[in-house]
């Protein structure tokens, strides 16, 4: 069943208490021309804030598709742990790959950073263009992977701002120079203290993280962890570490009820 992202403003309450959603633009085109929906077809939609709406198509008009809200429920496709990936900007498609795979896996936000050895340093005037392009990649991946929210791609962020951004919640920095502390131990310790609702993950650039940078991150509360004796490319390390974190906290487990979860019908008995 296809899942759409809707704005709350698309929800319309009818005088008889029924709720309608009106799709327009690209979504209406996708529904009418690609999915060729007909009245009576079932759809799901999320408002991106954790609510899932069960819909049935009621009408197709020029450029719009209307659907009746049959019920709503909590959108359980989102992981309980909100992961923010701080990724030192990577060259070209490697960055796109990290954003797309990280979105499919369940990362909630991406912070493109500039670390000491970042090779791909965009011109500052290109920062917002890059952010826009990266956000488009994430938005498309969120729709494809039926996410409950569209992850945010934050502005290109200088390293010094990480001190404030990392404050107040657990953070791990994958460091190829770490020789003793494993990701697994770090996650076991976090799980024992009560699975965190928020976790930051820092991954270096192609040139790796400088020891001084790792020391600084540790001073800011990030725990350096090893991903084993082999050196992973950054575009491998980010998605793999996010997957390991999500797996560790059960976020890759099936959701009981899933698509057919218990829904509260608005129009029961109408
Ligand atoms: N300096 C490396 C390349 C860095 S890999 C080289 O000499 O080729 C890019 C990033 O991936 C690293 O900064 C780190 O964040 C992560 N990474 C790769 N392999 C890792 C490992 N075995 N343990 C921890 N982090 C790793």
Contact 201, 84 (CB under 8 A): yes
In the three-class reduction of DSSP (H, G, I as helix; E, B as strand; rest coil), residue 35 is classed as: coil
Q: How many domains does the chain have?
A: 2
pLDDT of amino acid 267: 39
Q: For residue 112, give the nearest of 101, 128, 125 by alpha carbon.
A: 128
Q: How far is the CA of 46 from the centre of ligand 1 (A)?
A: 37
| Exposure letters 53-67 (e unless 16+ CB within 10 A, then b) | bbbebeebeeeebbb
Flag whether 181 is in a domain.
Answer: yes
pLDDT recorded at residue 118? 87
Q: What is the pLDDT of residues 91-145, one digit of tens each?
A: 999 999 999 999 999 999 999 999 989 888 889 999 999 999 999 999 999 989 9
Q: Would 237 be classed as within a structural domain?
A: yes
Question: Residue 71 C-alpha to ligand 1 middle, in angstroms?
Answer: 47
**Closest CA to ligand 1's atom 1:** 208
Residue 196 domain flag: yes
Question: Which residue, judged by its Cα, is nearest atom 9 of ligand 1?
Answer: 234
Please report whether residue 257 resides in a domain: no
The pLDDT assigned to 200 comes to 98
In three-state secondary structure terms, 247 is helix
Among candidate residues 184, 197, 188, the one with its CA nearest the CA of residue 241? 184
89 and 59 belong to one structural domain: no
Q: Would residue 218 count as lying in a domain?
A: yes
Domain that holds residue 173: 82-248
Residue 70 sits in a domain whose CATH number is 2.40.240.20
Residues 233 and 136 in one domain: yes
194-230 pLDDT tens trace: 989 999 999 999 999 999 999 999 999 999 999 999 9
Instruction: Give ligand 1 pocket residues (Cβ under 6 A).
Output: 174-176, 178, 203-204, 208-209, 226-228, 230-232, 234, 237
* Whether residue 264 has pLDDT greater than 70: no
Same-domain pairing of 62 and 147: no
Pocket perturbation via mutation, ligand 1, pick of 117, 204, 213 by most ligand atoms within 8 A of CB: 204
Closest CA to 89 of 211, 200, 242, 234: 234
Structure tokens at 114: 């500039």
Indicate which atom in ligand 1 lies nearest the CA of residue 229. Answer: 22
**35 and 157 housed in the same domain:** no
Q: What is the mean pLDDT of residues 240-253?
A: 97
Segment 232-244 shows an average pLDDT of 98
**Tell me, what's the pLDDT at 9?**
87
Return the CATH number at 197. Answer: 3.40.1280.10
């Amino acid at each position: 069943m296809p899942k759409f992202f809707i704005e709350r403003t698309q929800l319309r309450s009818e005088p008889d208490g029924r709720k309608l959603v009106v799709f327009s633009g690209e979504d209406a085109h996708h529904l009418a021309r690609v999915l060729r929906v007909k009245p009576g077809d079932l759809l799901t939609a999320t408002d991106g804030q954790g609510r899932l709406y069960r819909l049935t198509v009621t009408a197709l008009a020029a450029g719009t598709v209307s659907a009746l809200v049959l019920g709503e429920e909590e959108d359980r496709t989102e992981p309980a742990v909100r992961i923010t990936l701080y990724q030192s900007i990577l060259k070209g498609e490697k960055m796109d790959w990290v954003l797309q795979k990280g979105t499919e896996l369940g990362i909630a936000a991406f912070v493109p950073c500039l670390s000491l050895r970042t090779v791909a340093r965009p011109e500052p005037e290109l920062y917002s263009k890059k952010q826009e392009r990266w956000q488009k990649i994430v938005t498309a991946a969120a729709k494809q992977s039926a996410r409950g929210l569209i992850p945010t791609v934050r502005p290109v962020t200088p390293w010094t701002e990480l001190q404030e951004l990392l404050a107040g919640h657990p953070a791990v920095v994958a460091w190829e120079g770490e020789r003793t502390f494993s990701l697994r131990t770090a996650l076991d310790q976090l799980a024992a203290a009560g699975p965190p609702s928020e976790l930051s993950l820092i991954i270096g650039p192609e040139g790796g993280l400088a020891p001084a940078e790792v020391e600084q991150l540790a001073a800011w509360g990030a725990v350096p962890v090893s991903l084993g004796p082999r050196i992973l490319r950054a575009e491998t390390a980010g998605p793999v570490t996010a997957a390991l974190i999500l797996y560790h906290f059960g976020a890759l487990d099936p959701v009981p009820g899933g698509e057919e979860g218990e829904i509260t019908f608005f129009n029961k008995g109408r």
